[in-house]
Amino acid sequence: MTPFGVNALAQAAARAALASQIQMRHNVEWVCAEREKLLDTLAEMGVDVPRSQSNFIWFDFGEKTADFVAACEAEKLRVRAFGSEGVRVTVGEASGTQRLLRALQSL
């Protein structure tokens, strides 16, 4: 299985989401608001990340990428590492954001 693969159930859920424009727009607004709160908090912490316009944030950790991934795993977060270049983190629920911030603080 590939990481973050899209199976038949996920595809059916995507079709259902697209059929409900009101709910989908609400979810997009919610993700955007959570992303902005996270980006603001990261800036306050002095963590330099690109200002994202998507549902994920890129962390350029270079050689410390594996350390960050391990810290996220300790917080029960799944993130996507790209070798030693960095990590892509999807913006999710507020509780996930708090766990992400704890992982960052542990480094």
Largest CA distance in the chain: 43
Query: What mean pLDDT comes out for the span 50-56?
Result: 91
pLDDT(94) > 70: yes
CATH number of 8-106: 3.90.1150.10
Percentage of the chain beyond pLDDT 90 is: 70
pLDDT of 5 = 77
How does residue 89 score in pLDDT terms, banded at 50, 70 and 90?
very high
Counted residue by residue, the chain has a size of 107
How far is residue 64's CA from residue 46's CA, in Å, rounded to a whole number? 16
pLDDT(3) > 70: no
Q: Are 35 and 58 in contact (CB under 8 A)?
A: no
> What ranges in 46-106 are assigned the alpha helix state H?
65-74, 94-106
pTM: 0.79
Domains in the chain: boundaries: 8-106
